[in-house]
Structures are given as C-alpha cells and as structure tokens.
Structure 1
Amino acid sequence: MRIGIISNLYPPHERGGAELIARRVADEFAHRGYDVSVLTTQPYSGWESLVLRLQEKHIERIYRFHPMNIFGIENIGKKPFLWRLLWHAIDAVSPGVRSVIRRFILEEQPDVIFTHNLKGIGLSIGQFIQETDVRHIHTLHDVQLTVPSGLLMWGHEYSFLNRSFLRRWYEALSKWAIGSPQAVISPSKFLLDLHTSRGFFSNMETHVIPNPAPPVTVPNRAEFRSGPLRFLFAGQLEEHKGILFLLHALDAWAGTRPAPTNTFELHIAGDGSLRAEIEDQCMRDDRLIFHGFVALDSMLKLIAAVDAVIVPSLCYENSPTIIYESFAVGTPVIASRLGGIPELIVEGENGCTFEPGNESSFLEALSHITNDPNVCWAKAAQIREMAQMYALKGYVDALEKMIE
C-alpha cells in the first residue's frame, strides 16, 4: 500500500510536536513495508522554491515547496495583525495548491493520505484531496481550525474575537476548506469535543488516539541525587507557554523556604521570541540553566536527570509531546490542568496538575515533588510501565486498522 503524509512543517523544519508525530508515523509505516511519501513546505529561497520538488529520499520520499502567500508560516508570529489576517485568508483559499496536490498524487499514487496541520501549507488541501479517489484521514493537533492562531488562551475563552461573527466566519471557511475526511483522529477527547461542539466533523468517523511516545531507547533514571531540586521546562519560549509565570513562581517558592531546602535548578530547553530575555535572566541567576534547542536524544537524557518536568501552559494544550517523552523516561510531570493534559496525568502517580497561572495551586502541586523527591524517583519504573500504552507500535496498529 502507498501512503501519503501531508504536514505544514516536517523535520528539520519544526515548531512543535505535530511535525514530530508526522515524522514518527511516516518512519514506522515505512519500517512496516509501506511505500511512504511526504508533502510539506520549505522556507522561501527564491522563485524556484515555489515549485514542488522531490528533495529528500530517506526512508520516505519528501517533497517540498513554498506556498504562494505573503510570507511563510515560520514568520507569522513576527507580523502585524492585519498582515496575519490577510495571510490566513490567502492560506484558506490556498492559491496554486490544487495543482501541487494533483502533481503529488499523480507522482506517488497514494492509496490513502494522512494530513496533519495544514495551516501554512494550504487549508483547502482537504477539499483538493477529496476531489480525487484517494482516501483522506485528518489528524487534529490544535485548535487552528476554529482559532486562526492555533492558540486558545486560558481566561480569554469569551473574549470579543472568540464570541464575535469573525470567529463564526472563520470557522465556516475552515469547514469548507477541510471538507469531509473519511476519518478524523484526535489525540485528546478535549480537542475532539471542542471541534464537534462548534459544528466540525458531524456524521464523520472520529477516533481519539493519544500521540505516540518517541520510538527510541530511553535512558533509565539513575538513583536519586542529593543537592538542589532539578526541574526542566522544554518548549517554545513564548508567554503562552508559561515560562515567565514559571520563573516567577519558582522564585516565590524559594523565598518561602529556609535554606538549604529552597535551592533548585531550572533547566530551560527551547527557542522562541523570549529567548533573549530568558538568556539574560539565566546569565544573572545561576539557578537557571539555558540549553537552547535540544535534539531528542539529548532531551531524553536531560529529562532523565531532573526531578520533574514542568508544563506551565497558559493556553489550551492538546496533548504535549514533552509529556509523552517524560513518561517514557519515567520522570513525573507537573502541568497546567488545561485542555487535554488531564487526560494524560494520573494525579500522584505520574505527575500532578494545577490551575493555570495560579501560583498557590502550582506551589501545592510542586510540594508533591519537593516534600519527598525520593518517592517520585521510586515510581520511575511504574511511570515507564504506564507509558507503554503510548507506544508508537500501538498507535500505528490503530492506523492500520483504519486503512485495512
């Protein structure tokens, strides 16, 4: 069987977990003997980058092009509101993408196409696939079909934009663009319920399948080490990811405890618009260790070395990749009680949750780790065992049943 995978980004170009999931699925399908091809974007590098070309032949064949828009998705966060509004309108119409899809399908002859995030490669790709006889299965990763930015902020659920006719217009356009896939996959019940409550995917086949953990040999956690408590923040260095809240909350926590029980290290891995500010703070505070972008193998070693991973998001998360990676290693997670996160965390077993942006709630959750870190380290094997339900093999087994 020939399988096509379409994603707005694909490694080495990546912003978050969605493109990593697409890559893991593509590799696993290829290892199982399927013929796999990928369609994705590339940064603009002249007129020739607008033309679809087969650029890489690894396990899968990777086609890349730069969509016809006023800028690439990698630059959207740097643009003014009106420019972003125009960009979203062009992306929904997807000029030139119909011919790209037709060429991709003609070249590769896929029996089924799995689409992931389409914002930035052409939201109307769903419609274009459905004009052919190729089966289409779409995987949700965030709220970008209902919120243009893909971000639904905690406490802003009833803001003007979320209640206005603009949101309804955008959703109507998204419903037309994505069309009617034969099946829709959501990694969390939260995300699927959000879309169906807003009129998406009615009378369609839907599945909730949690994201797969990384298919690599993970390091075992060592014995508990004395010394400062060690935490890890790994993700985009953006305000909506809660990094500034976390820095303030940990500083407040240290101020309420007597020495030496108030010592800690916060390892920060990631990149984003706050990078310069975070690096500056790290240079002035030796409790903060900045790593920048960290590749997966090194990330897993970093996760294995800390007492807990902290996910302090202020936006509704679907199913953060870092949580799966932490569980695979056996490290507990302290995370915002938001979106699909509570579906992954069993309180007191593999982590704790707290009310987003609430410092006292965060400190209460943190106390489960700080009061006796030995208990958490003793649960490493149990956490790894619980993580087996998120194995890549099981995830792709479920996909195979859908395409049989």
Structure 2
Amino acid sequence: MTRCCESVCFINGTFPPEIHGGAENYIINTAKELQSRGIEVCVITTKKLDRLSDTKVESSTVKEIPVFRFAPPNIASRSTFPERPLYQKAIWRLIDATNPYSYYQVSKLLDTLKPDLVHTNNLMGISSLVTRAIRESGSDHLHTLHDYSLLCPTGSPRTNVEKEAVRTISNSDPVVDAFTKFQKLLAVSPDIVTAPSNHVISEHKKRGLFDQTPTHRVQLGVAKTKDPVKTESLNHRVLYVGRITERKGLDVLLEASKSMESVHFDICGTGPYEDCVKNIAKSIDNVVYHGYVKDGKLQRLRSKADLAVVPSLWMENSPLTIYESFARGIPVVASDIGGIPELIEHGETGALFEPGDSNSLVDTLNEMLDKDKISRMSSNVLTWADNHTIESHVDQLIPLYNRALE
C-alpha cells in the first residue's frame, strides 16, 4: 500500500527575516500551499550568532509556518560572511560544511518532530552534514537544487568566458573539482532530487553528484495575477527587478541604456553592488535606480513596463523574477545562459541575448520593443503563467514526496 506524505520538514541555511531570497520565497510559497492541503509543515534553519545563548534552538512562526532556528558556531553568520575578507570566507565555508553542531541540533529536532519527509534546499549555512542526520533519523529525503553551492564554495563558479565576469563551470577548475569531491565525502545522497531547470541537474551529474539518484525537473510556481499589464500602447520602458550584485549583469544593462536614450530603464533591488549602480545611474538620464521597493510600487512599475530584463552573467538556475514578470503579462529579455533558455522562447515569450554583450542587449531590446510583438508575447506569457502556478508546482511535488516514502 502506497504511503501518503502527511508531514514535511523544510531545511534551509537561512530564512526570513535573516535572508529573503529565491530559496526562502520558494519554501514559504510551497509550505503555505501544502498547509492548505492538510499537510503539516515546519522549517529548520539558522540565525545570527550574537551571543552564546543563540546556539540554543528558538521556535517562532513566519507566515503561520513553524520555524526552528539555532546559530551554528562559526566566525560569522550566513548573512554576514560575504562581507568578510577572502581568507575568512574560506575559513567560514570550511567550518560551515563540516559543522558538527548543525548535525547535532538537526538530529535532535528531527527526533522530536518526526516528519514523514525532509525537504532540503540550500545547505550553505547549516552544513552538508545534516544530510547524515536526516538519513539516521529514518525520515525520507528530497533535495531541491537552487544553485551550485554543492559544487563551488561561492555557489556561483567563475572562470573567464569572453568577458571576465561571466560565470560558468570549467571542467578543469581545480577549486570546483576539489570542493565537489569534498562535498561528496560529507553529504549523503537524498532519495530524490528536484530542480527547476535541467541545466542545474546536468551540471551536478557531470561532476558525479546524484548520478545514482532519481532526478526530476519541477519548474517553480507563481501566484496568478488579477491585474495583468495592459498592452494598448508602448511606454518604451524596461524594468529590472532582482539582487544588485555584479554577477547579475547590471554593468551590461547600464552600458546598453546609454545607447537607448528614448527608452526608460527602472532598476529595483538591493545588494552589495548597489552603491556602484546608484552612482552610475545618476549620470544616465534615462535610468532610475529605485533601490528596495515595496510591493505596491513594484506593481505600479510593472504596470508601466513593456519588457523585463534579466542580464545575468552567471549560470542562473530558473530566476523567479521571470516567472513573476510572465504572471503580469510582461515578456522578458534575458541572457542566453544557464537554465534561462528553458523559460524563454525567443520571439514568443521574450528574447535571449549574448551574456555580457551590451550591443547584443541593445539590438535585442530594439527588436522586441514593437507594439504588435509585445501584445502577442504578453498573451503568451500570461498563458504560460496560468500553467505554472504554485498549485501546479505542488501537484507535481506531492507524488515525488510519496514516491520517496516508498
């Protein structure tokens, strides 16, 4: 008789309010949908280590989801280690990957919670050793790949590809090779692996991770919109929404904007590269950097945008900002890199351009900024979004949960 999953424990290195990114949003949205179907959920995560008492487990709720947090002893927390010098980052990453305290606390929590299934996400910050705690607890285990943090200490491997900043994974990169072998020694393979792109699954399998584990592409889900963008006329506006980091390709976008004076560019988001973006944007008349924006303002900006842009320089997995743009009826122009081409059909739901090439971005934007094309693509992306809701995502996820239990 097939068992049905009745309780799920999510594990992630961080959780709001510590960090509120793609993986964290994914857990919240998935957990809420599971709750609506009568499945019990909880989250195990970390918090900042400000005092010794922070190492103890603290329970709370986030959006009515039970959350259990503890601070693993280390030289910094997950949210602050990127600000440290390189040698300290290396020390932090080594301690993080092999942290016995994380293993100990997760073991205790799983013994108490006794979930049917553990759904791990980003393990950076909570240690790869927790996979051993999961195996020993007797719970079944599904892992979702959100990035490359099992292959590279930074989560976004780097080598020279035409432009120095473009990220990819080199087959001969000694750092990647050594780190991958290290992770294979530490981590225990889950019962099932999912990812929103075939690309990220392929990159892990090429390096010997999960080569004996069932893997499935399960694309993300997005909330349906009640207010799609109207396309009666062109506004000649392009919108960027995302983290403000160098790997996101903001330099390429800003350079392209200089050649498109008749097009207005809005940039929304925060991150370590924001001071640089803010200063450059001040010198370009057709660019406005908004920083962090609340949902109301973001929706107003989306209502004016003809196109969204994702100019990433690294191998993105499956950017949620593309899903969110589609749900508002906004086609997307994005870098032809990583898992992005699995989301965008050129000329139908947006367009792809050469990553790192501002001239290619200019040409592609000019090609797509056409009233008839925008109108047709807007209709296409709304249909796409209707088929990629959080409900449809969980419809695919639950059978995999039940399969893991078998």
Q: Same fold (TM over 0.5)?
A: yes
Per-residue CA deviations over 1:337-368 (Å, capped at 9, x if unaligned) read 00000010011011000110112322221122
Shift of the 169–152 alpha-carbon distance from structure 1 to 2, 3 Å rule, reads: closer
Per-residue CA deviations over 1:77-121 (Å, capped at 9, x if unaligned) read 221211111111111112301221122213322110100001012
Does the CA contact (< 8 Å) of 1:221 and 1:304 recur in 2? Answer: yes
* SS of residue matched to 2:100: coil
86, 89, 97: which is aligned to 2:94?
Answer: 89
Aligned-partner Cα distance in 2 for 1:199–1:125:
20
Shift of the 177–296 alpha-carbon distance from structure 1 to 2, 3 Å rule, reads: farther
227, 231, 234: which is aligned to 1:219?
Answer: 227
Per-residue CA deviations over 1:161-186 (Å, capped at 9, x if unaligned) read 86344332211121233311000001
Q: CA offset at residue 296 of structure 1?
A: 4.6
Aligned-partner Cα distance in 2 for 1:115–1:194:
19
2:107 aligns with 102
- The farther-off stretch of 15-24 and 349-358 is 15-24
- The farther-off stretch of 284-293 and 305-314 is 284-293
1:258 aligns with none
2:205 aligns with 196
Q: CA offset at residue 280 of structure 1?
A: 2.6
1:2-401 mapped onto 2 (5 Å cutoff)? 2-14=7-19, 16-56=21-61, 58-153=63-158, 155=161, 163-213=172-222, 215=223, 217-225=225-233, 229-251=236-258, 253-254=259-260, 262-296=261-295, 298-370=297-369, 372-401=370-399
Counterpart of 1:390, as a letter, is H
- The farther-off stretch of 54-63 and 182-191 is 54-63
Shift of the 160–393 alpha-carbon distance from structure 1 to 2, 3 Å rule, reads: closer
Aligned-partner Cα distance in 2 for 1:187–1:159:
18
Shift of the 11–175 alpha-carbon distance from structure 1 to 2, 3 Å rule, reads: same
Q: CA offset at residue 237 of structure 1?
A: 1.2
Aligned-partner Cα distance in 2 for 1:234–1:159:
22
Aligned-partner Cα distance in 1 for 2:312–2:290:
19
Does the CA contact (< 8 Å) of 1:92 and 1:173 recur in 2? Answer: no
Does the CA contact (< 8 Å) of 1:94 and 1:124 recur in 2? Answer: yes
Does the CA contact (< 8 Å) of 2:306 and 2:331 recur in 1? Answer: yes
Percent identity, please: 30
Aligned-partner Cα distance in 2 for 1:345–1:334:
8
Q: CA offset at residue 278 of structure 1?
A: 2.1
Q: Where does structure 2 lack aligned partners over 5 or more consecutive residues? A: 1-5
Q: CA offset at residue 374 of structure 1?
A: 4.3
* SS of residue matched to 2:80: helix
Q: CA offset at residue 69 of structure 1?
A: 1.2
Does the CA contact (< 8 Å) of 1:218 and 1:300 recur in 2? Answer: no
Shift of the 100–199 alpha-carbon distance from structure 1 to 2, 3 Å rule, reads: same
Aligned-partner Cα distance in 1 for 2:395–2:126:
28
Aligned-partner Cα distance in 2 for 1:47–1:302:
44
Over the aligned positions, Cα root-mean-square deviation in angstroms equals 2.2
Q: CA offset at residue 158 of structure 1?
A: 10
Counterpart of 2:354, as a letter, is E
Aligned-partner Cα distance in 2 for 1:302–1:51:
43
Q: CA offset at residue 75 of structure 1?
A: 1.8
2:3 aligns with none
- The farther-off stretch of 96-105 and 340-349 is 96-105
Q: CA offset at residue 159 of structure 1?
A: 9.3
- The farther-off stretch of 358-367 and 347-356 is 358-367
Aligned-partner Cα distance in 2 for 1:226–1:308:
10
* SS of residue matched to 2:315: coil
Aligned-partner Cα distance in 1 for 2:189–2:69:
25
Q: CA offset at residue 386 of structure 1?
A: 1.6
Does the CA contact (< 8 Å) of 1:141 and 1:318 recur in 2? Answer: yes
Shift of the 181–159 alpha-carbon distance from structure 1 to 2, 3 Å rule, reads: closer
